[in-house]
């Protein structure tokens, strides 16, 4: 991570760290809750049982950590998209079109192609790879166009088969 978090990777690294901290906090809370029902013979160094109120407060902190991490992931993606050669509005429009198409599709092979193209686009955006993003965007456009052409065929019978 650079001195100032100025790249999408830096922001994502912070989000990853917050997520990992939330995971550790959750594990710690669960261990404390499990200890509540046992008699601990470990002596003075053993952790005290956790009260319901303490556990609830810790769970709320865990949720807050996860929300902050998710917000940073969104910020990272926005920042990454800002540096791409592809307009963000076009990415959002095609992502919405893909979502609507996926909702309507019943054929697994059509869904798989569109989802793979979406994943490729998301990976390029998160990885801040402008050339890969442009190629992934074209792949998504091609998959969406192919579905439109295929769905206009008279013998097109939507089924959840490959």
Which of 23, 50, 82 finishes a domain?
Answer: 82
Give residue 116's domain range: 88-151
Q: What is the pLDDT of residue 12?
A: 86
Nearest Cα residue to 58 out of 34, 84, 90, 33: 33
Mind giving me the DSSP string for 103-131? Answer: HH---HHHHHHHHHHHHHHHHHHHTT-HH
84 class by beta-carbon count within 10 Å (0-12 exposed, 13-18 middle, 19+ buried): buried
* Inter-axis angle of helices 130-151 and 88-104, nearest 10: 40
127 and 144 belong to one structural domain: yes
Q: What is the pLDDT of residue 1?
A: 44
Q: What is the pLDDT of residue 131?
A: 81
Which of 55, 82, 109 finishes a domain?
Answer: 82
78 and 92 belong to one structural domain: no
Angle at 109 between CA 143 and CA 140, to 5 degrees: 15
SS3 154: coil
Stated pTM of the model: 0.52
Q: Please give the Cα distance from 94 to 111 (Å, whole number).
A: 15
pLDDT mean by block of 10 residues, the chain; 162 residues: 62 90 91 76 59 90 92 82 72 86 72 85 77 88 82 49 44
Q: Is residue 156 part of a domain?
A: no
Q: What is the pLDDT of residue 20?
A: 93
Number of folded domains in the chain? 2
């Amino acid at each position: 991570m650079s001195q100032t978090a100025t790249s999408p990777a830096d922001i994502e690294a912070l989000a990853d760290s917050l997520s990992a901290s939330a995971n550790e906090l959750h594990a710690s809370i669960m261990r404390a809750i499990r200890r509540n029902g046992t008699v601990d013979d470990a002596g003075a160094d053993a952790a005290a049982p956790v009260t319901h109120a303490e556990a609830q407060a810790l769970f709320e902190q865990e949720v807050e950590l996860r929300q902050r991490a998710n917000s940073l992931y969104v910020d990272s993606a926005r920042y990454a998209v800002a540096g791409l050669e592809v307009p963000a509005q076009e990415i959002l429009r095609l992502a919405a079109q893909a979502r609507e198409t996926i909702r309507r599709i019943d054929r697994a092979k059509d869904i798989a192609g569109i989802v793979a193209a979406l994943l490729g686009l998301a990976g390029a955006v998160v990885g801040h790879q402008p050339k890969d993003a442009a190629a992934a965007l074209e792949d998504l456009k091609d998959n969406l166009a192919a579905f439109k052409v295929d769905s206009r065929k008279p013998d097109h019978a939507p089924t959840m088969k490959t």
